[in-house]
């Protein structure tokens, strides 16, 4: 696995180890928070999904009703009503306002419709069929209401979809790339530090052993020197050679340990 | 978040339409229609003489205009420019496919609803599996 062998390119020092540990803590906390955010968004997303399905299906019904009322209006007021309507268009009296709703840091648009100014079509169908025309108008306003709701649901759906994808991507990146990499780096630094410590320990041991040996050597040299001196003294006193004095000394030590003379 | 689309908040935005004549008349009656200073309308009446090119142009214009929040499009018209509708993925303006009088509404053809259905099934499958 490529993620396992990966680590950051750092100098293995105690300071770096501290920094890496802090970063790992940060990454873990970030991961937990993002996971929570993703969950919250998913809950919202499912609610919207359910609402979209039901609203889309009710939309068909409402459009059918409004089409039918238009047909009624046409029948009563005559076919030429559409020309009157098409010609009298000036500025929109029915508009939508959009505002934002904040869900776990994701801004979702919400539309709502409102009427502005007086309706221009008041005089439409004055000659005949005025009531049908007004009914038709009301039916279409109702249709707009449903459509606007559906539009905000749909927009929220798309925005949330995108946001959930991004959040999940981040969660996965933290979990599968950033955290293993930091962990690898930390274990690498720890390994290197241990290695250094062992090396140091070994070096100390070695030096200690060397010192010990030196002291022993010096002690032995001193002892020899003292013995030599003693033999010399004996040889001078008794008039024998130094070798004979050595032999005398060693012979005395070998055989007559308990004889005092 | 940096990479999500910016959502403009506006106090008044229009609803645009690309539909057949009857639906347009109905919505105009409700007061949706708008004609600006250059005599540009916020709706396109699609009849037998309207070419696909005209519909495409209108769709592109409505989706790029900043004062439009919602685009209503008849489903049979949307089917004519399905590739454009499917490739459109901005949150605002929202594209709504609506049924028209002569063409019954088929939820399977709706690009959003098919995605919703797909996700819905996938999610319900995923939730039962867990």
Print the SS3 string covering chain A.
Answer: CHHHHCCCCCCCCHHHHHHHHHHHHHHHHHHHHHHHHHHHHHHHHHHHHHHHHHHHHHHHHHHHHHHHHHHHHHHHHCCCHHHHHHHCCCCCCEEEEEEEEEECCEEEEEEEEEECCCCHHHHCCCCCCHHHHHHHHHHHHHHHHHHHHHHHHHHHHHHHHHHHHHHHHHHHHHHHHHHHHHHHHHHHHHHHHHHHHHHHHHHHHHHHHHHHHHHHHHHHHHHHHHHHHHHHHHHHHHCCCHHHHHHHHHHHHHHCCCCCC
User: Which phi and psi (to 5°) does residue B68 adopt?
Assistant: -110, 130
Identify whether the C-beta of residue A151 lies closer than 8 Å to the C-beta of residue B69: yes
Count of domains in chain B? 1
User: Which phi and psi (to 5°) does residue A189 adopt?
Assistant: -65, -40
Residue B7 domain-assigned (yes or no): no
pLDDT surpasses 60 at B6: no
pTM metric for this prediction: 0.69
Chain A interface disruption, residue of B10, B17, B26, B117, most A CBs within 10 A: B26
Quote the CA–CA distance of A134 and B2 in Å, as a whole number: 47
Q: If you average pLDDT over residues A165-184, what whole number do you get?
A: 90
**pLDDT for the residue numbered A3:** 46
Quote the CA–CA distance of A49 and A47 in Å, as a whole number: 5
Q: Which residues of A touch B121 (CB under 8 A)?
A: none
Say which of B14, B34, B94 has its CB closest to residue A151. B94
Give the domains, in start order, of chain A with CATH numbers.
Answer: 14-192 (1.10.287.3240)
Please indicate whether, in this complex, the C-beta atoms of B98 and A147 are within 8 angstroms of each other: yes
Identify whether the C-beta of residue B112 lies closer than 8 Å to the C-beta of residue A154: yes
Q: Which residues on neighbouring strands pair with residue B41, listed in sequence order? A: B35
**pLDDT for the residue numbered A2:** 47
Please indicate whether, in this complex, the C-beta atoms of B21 and A98 are within 8 angstroms of each other: no
Q: Tokens standing for A84? A: 């009157």
Closest CA to A10 of A176, A190, A197: A190
Secondary element (H or E) of residue B97: strand B94-98
Owning domain of residue B101 = 14-127
Please indicate whether, in this complex, the C-beta atoms of B99 and A89 are within 8 angstroms of each other: no
Residue B5 domain-assigned (yes or no): no
**Residues of chain B with pLDDT > 90: what percent?**
0
Q: Tokens standing for A85? A: 């309507």
Please name the residue of chain B whose CA is at the shortest distance from the CA of residue A110: B9
Q: Which has the minimum average pLDDT: A47-61, A99-113, A145-159, B6-20? A: B6-20
Q: Which residues on neighbouring strands pair with residue A97, listed in sequence order? A: A112
Residue B2 domain-assigned (yes or no): no
Quote the CA–CA distance of A44 and A50 in Å, as a whole number: 10
* B100-116 residue pLDDT tens: 777 766 666 666 667 76
Highest-scoring range by mean pLDDT, A215-219, A238-242, B60-64, B65-69:
A215-219
Say which of B1, B25, B113 has its CB closest to residue A166. B1
**pLDDT for the residue numbered A26:** 92
Residue B4 domain-assigned (yes or no): no
**Residues of chain A with pLDDT > 70: what percent?**
86
Please indicate whether, in this complex, the C-beta atoms of B13 and A147 are within 8 angstroms of each other: no
ipTM value greater than 0.85: no
Closest CA to B61 of B16, B14, B8: B16
Please indicate whether, in this complex, the C-beta atoms of A94 and B32 are within 8 angstroms of each other: yes
**Burial call A61-93: b when 16+ CB within 10 Å, e when fewer:** ebbeebbebbebbbebbeeebbebbbeebeebb
Closest CA to A111 of B124, B94, B84: B94
Identify whether the C-beta of residue B75 lies closer than 8 Å to the C-beta of residue B55: no
Give the list of residues 6+ apart from residue A14 with CB closer than 8 angstroms, or none.
A193
Q: If you average pLDDT over residues A128-144, what whole number do you get?
A: 78
Q: Tokens standing for B25? A: 């008349």
* A139-174 residue pLDDT tens: 888 888 888 888 888 888 888 888 888 889 999 999
Please indicate whether, in this complex, the C-beta atoms of B91 and A66 are within 8 angstroms of each other: no
Residue B9 domain-assigned (yes or no): no
Say which of A95, A99, A141 has its CB closest to residue B9. A99
CATH number for position B110? 3.40.50.10580
Print the SS3 string covering A34-77.
Answer: HHHHHHHHHHHHHHHHHHHHHHHHHHHHHHHHHHHHHHHHHHHH
The single residue listed with the structure tokens 């970030």 is A30
Identify whether the C-beta of residue A41 lies closer than 8 Å to the C-beta of residue A163: yes
Please indicate whether, in this complex, the C-beta atoms of A52 and B7 are within 8 angstroms of each other: no
């Amino acid at each position: 696995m490529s993620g396992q062998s990966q680590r950051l390119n750092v100098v293995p020092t105690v300071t770096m180890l501290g920094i890496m540990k802090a970063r790992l803590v940060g990454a873990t906390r970030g991961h937990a928070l993002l996971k929570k955010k993703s969950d919250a968004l998913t809950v919202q997303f499912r609610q919207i999904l359910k609402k979209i399905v039901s609203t889309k299906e009710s939309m068909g019904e409402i459009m059918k009703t409004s089409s039918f009322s238009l047909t009624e209006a046409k029948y009563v007021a005559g076919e030429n009503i559409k020309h009157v309507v098409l010609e009298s268009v000036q500025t929109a009296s029915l508009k939508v306002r959009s505002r934002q709703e904040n869900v776990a840091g994701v801004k979702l648009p919400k539309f709502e419709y409102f009427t502005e100014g007086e309706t221009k079509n008041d005089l439409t169908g004055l000659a005949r069929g005025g009531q049908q025309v007004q009914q038709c108008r009301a039916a279409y306003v109702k249709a707009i209401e449903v459509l606007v709701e559906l539009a905000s649901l749909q927009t929220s759906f798309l925005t949330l979809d995108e946001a959930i994808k991004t959040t999940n991507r981040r969660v996965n990146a933290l979990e599968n790339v950033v955290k293993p990499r930091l962990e690898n780096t930390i274990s690498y630094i720890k390994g290197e530090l241990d290695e250094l410590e062992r090396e140091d320990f070994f070096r100390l041991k070695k030096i200690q052993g060397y010192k010990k040996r030196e002291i022993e050597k010096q002690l032995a040299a001193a002892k020899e020197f003292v013995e030599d001196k003693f033999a010399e003294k004996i040889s001078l006193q008794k008039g024998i050679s130094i070798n004979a004095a050595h032999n005398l000394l060693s012979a005395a030590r070998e055989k007559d340990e308990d004889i005092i003379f | 978040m940096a990479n999500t689309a910016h959502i403009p908040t506006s106090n008044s935005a229009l609803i645009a339409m690309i539909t057949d004549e009857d639906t347009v008349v109905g919505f105009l009656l409700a007061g949706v229609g708008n004609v600006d200073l250059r005599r540009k309308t916020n709706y396109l009446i699609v009849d037998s003489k309207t070419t696909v090119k005209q519909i495409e142009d209108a769709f592109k214009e409505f989706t790029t205009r900043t004062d439009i929040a919602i685009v209503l499009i008849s489903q049979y018209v949307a089917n004519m420019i399905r590739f454009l509708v499917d490739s459109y993925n901005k949150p605002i303006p929202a594209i709504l496919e609506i049924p028209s009088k002569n063409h019954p509404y088929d939820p399977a053809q709706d690009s959003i609803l098919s995605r919703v259905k797909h996700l819905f099934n996938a999610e319900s499958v995923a939730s039962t599996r867990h």
